[in-house]
Structure 1
C-alpha cells in the first residue's frame, strides 16, 4: 500500500519561470502541479498550493503559519509524510524553524530548486521526486525536519546554502549529508543525536543579527539601546571574539536584560571562551554573553526567538544553546 504524502507549495524558484527578458518570476500559480503525475509511482500524493512567495518575502510569522497548517493537515488527514517546496534563499531558516517547533514524528522534508521550471536542466522535478521518496521511506521517521537537494538528505540544523546558483548549493559544513538518494533506494548513514522541540504560540520576538567586522564602530550598535529589541545575535570573529570598542555597548544591553547570543562568522566549528583579552571570548562569557553550539547566525536568531517564549533567564538560555 502506498504511503500518503502531502506536498505543500509555498513558492520560490521551483514555482517560477523565465520570461522573454530572462527575468525569473512567478508567472503561473500551478507550476509545481505539472510534476504531480511523476510522483504517483512513489506515493499517494496530495498537493496543496498554500502560498506563492519568493523566499525573501518569507517571515518568521509566515513560518509559524506554515507550522500550524502542517499540524492541522496531519491531525485531520493522517498523512505518512510531508514535503514543503520553498524558495532557496531562506529555505534553511524555514526548515530549522519547523525542526524546532513541529511536535511530529512523521518525516517532514523541505526542498526547492535553483533553476526555474522552464530552464534547461531544471532541478525542481527531480528534487521533488527525491523528497517524496524520502518522506515515504520509513527510515525517515524521527530524524527531525530534513532538506533534500541534489540527491542528498541533510538535517535542518546543519544545512546551509553555500552557492548563489549551483544546484549543489545545500551543504552541511563539518557534518555532511545524513543520507543519499539513488535510483533504487533512500539510504541513511547517520542521524542527528539531539532533537529539540519548543512549544510556541507565535514568532513575534524582535531579534536582530549583526556581523562583526574589523574596526567596528560602537555607534553601529548604539541605536539598539533605544529600540525595544528582545535579544541580539552577533556573528563574531573566529572562536568567538569581538572588537573591543563595541564591548561597552554590549554591556549596556546586558544590563538592560537583553540576551546576546554569540556565534562565529566561520562556517565550521563553534565559539568558545578561550581568548583572554579585551573583546576576547573569555571576557564576553564572564559578562554574560550566551555562546551557541555551532549554529550559524540566521539559525541562532530563530532559536533565540523560539527560546525566549520558554524563558528569559540567562542561565536557562545558555543551557538551551549548549544543546
Structure 2
C-alpha cells in the first residue's frame, strides 16, 4: 500500500526565517524555500510521503488576496486529488488565524488542512519550526482529522480555525483557543483527539469570491473621536468592525458616527479589543437602535474576514449578518 502523501504549501514566515545568530532576536522571514523544508520533513522519519509547492516567501504581515487566492486554489486541487490525503500550510504566525479562518469558511471538510508555523527562526537556539512541522504532518495524515475544518497545529496543540488566536508576542506556546481551547494534543509520534469530528461531510460554507470587499477595523480607545470612522467611510469601506472596549463599546460620538454609517448602508460589527470573551447584543450598546451586529465570540480579525465573505456573497442586512455570527 502506498504511503499517504501530504502536500506542503509554503508561504514563508518565521518557520522559514533565519537570523544568522543562535541567540539574536532580529531575523528575516521566508528565507528557506520549500525544497529545504521538504528535505527536512522527509528526514524526520514520520512514515509518510511529502510533496511541496512554494506559494510565497514573505512574513505573514504581508499576506493578502494574491496569496489567499493561490492557497485556496491549491487546497481545492489537493482535495480533489485522490493521491493527496491532506495539506499542510507553513505560514507566519501573525496572521495565521485569519488565513485559517478564511480557508475554513470556504473549503469543504473532506480532508485535513493544517496550518503551522514557528515562533523562533530556523537557526535560533530552541527553534520550534521543525517540531511544529512534524506535528502538523502527523495531524494531516490522520483520518480522524477530516471533518473538523481547517486546523492550526502549534506548540504540541491542535486548534480549530474558528477558535484559534495568537495570544502572545513570543514563546513556542503563543497560541490559544476561544471559546474552545485546543481540540487535540499532538507530538511527532502521537495524536490524541479530545472529541469526535463535528463537521464531517460539510460543504464549503461560502463560495470563493472574486475579491473581498473593503472592511476596516477601528480600534476603540478612551477619549477618541469620530475621525477614524469618517476616514474609513471616505476610503470607501463597505463594512466596519469595531474593536471595542469591553463588550464592544466605544465613546458615544463614535457610536453615533457608526450609526450614521449604518444609515448609509455600511455594515457595522461590534467586537472587542480584549483577548477573549463574548460580545452580546444590547448589553451596553443598543444594537437594535443603531443597526449594529454583535460579533459574539469572534475577535476583530475574524469578524472582519466573516463580514467580507458575507458582503461578497450579497448579504448586507444586519439581521442576516447577525444570524451568521450567532451560528
SS for the counterpart of 2:42 is helix
The Cα offsets for residues 149-178 of structure 1, whole Å up to 9 and x where unpaired, read as: 111000111111111110101111442100
Relative to 1, partners in 2 of residues 1:293 and 1:78: Cα closer, same or farther, differing over 3 Å? farther
Determine whether 1:229 maps to 2:229.
Answer: no
Larger mean CA deviation between 177-186 and 139-148 belongs to 177-186
- Structure 1 residues 285 and 235 mapped into 2: Cα distance closer, same or farther (>3 Å)? farther
Shift of the alpha carbon at 1:41? 3.0
- Partners of 1:199 and 1:24 lie apart in 2 by 37
Indicate the SS of the match to 1:126.
helix
Within 5 Å, which residues of 2 pair with 1:254-265?
A: 254-265=262-273
Check if 1:317 corresponds to 2:321.
yes
Shift of 1:39: 4.3
Provide the residue aligned with 1:143 in structure 2.
148
For residue 27 of structure 2, what is the aligned residue in structure 1? 24
Q: Which residue, out of 286, 293, 296, partners 1:293?
A: 296
Q: What's the CA shift for 1:201?
A: 2.4
- Tell me, yes or no, if structure 1 residue 133 matches structure 2 residue 138: yes
Which is worse superposed, 310-319 or 230-239?
Answer: 310-319
2:6 aligned with 1:5, yes or no? yes
Of 182, 188, 192, the residue aligned with 2:193 is 188
Tell whether the 8 Å contact from 1:263 to 1:297 is kept in structure 2 after alignment: yes
Task: Write the distance in 2 (CA, Å) between the matches of 1:47 and 1:287.
Answer: 49
Structure 1 vs Structure 2 CA RMSD: 2.0
Measure, in 1, the Cα distance between the counterparts of 2:243 and 2:274: 9
User: What residue in structure 2 maps to residue 105 of structure 1?
Assistant: 110
Structure 1 residues 195-204 or 216-225, which shifts more?
A: 195-204
**Which blocks of at least 5 consecutive residues in structure 2 are unaligned?**
none
Q: Indicate conservation of the 8 Å contact 2:109/2:150, yes or no.
A: no
Q: CA deviation at 1:28?
A: 4.2
SS at match of 1:19: coil
Question: In structure 1, how many angstroms separate the alpha carbons of the residues matched to 2:300 and 2:210?
Answer: 21
1:37 equivalent in alignment to 2:42: yes
Answer yes or no: is the 8 Å Cα contact 1:143–1:192 preserved in 2.
yes
Aligned residues: 318
Q: TM-score, normalised by structure 2?
A: 0.90
Distance 2:287 2:257 in 1: 12
- Compute the displacement of 1:285 (Å): 3.2
Within 1, Cα distance between the matches of 2:325 and 2:69? Answer: 21
* Aligned CA distance change for structure 1 residues 24 and 191 (closer, same or farther; 3 Å): farther
Aligned residue number for residue 248 of structure 1: 256
Match of 1:273 among 272, 276, 281: 281
* 2:88 maps to 1:70: no
How far off its partner does 1:57 sit? 1.0
Which of 100, 119, 132 is 1:95 aligned to? 100
- Give the stretch that moved more between structures: 301-310 or 260-269: 260-269
SS in 2 for 1:198: coil
Contact 1:240 1:273 in 2 (8 A): no
Distance in 1 separating the partners of 2:99 and 2:196: 20
2:57 alignment partner, SS class = coil
Aligned to 1:306: 309
List runs of 5+ in structure 1 lacking aligned partners: none
Partner Cα distance (2:178, 2:280) in 1: 18
Following superposition, the deviation at residue 235 of structure 1 comes to: 1.3
Structure 2 match to 1:54: 59
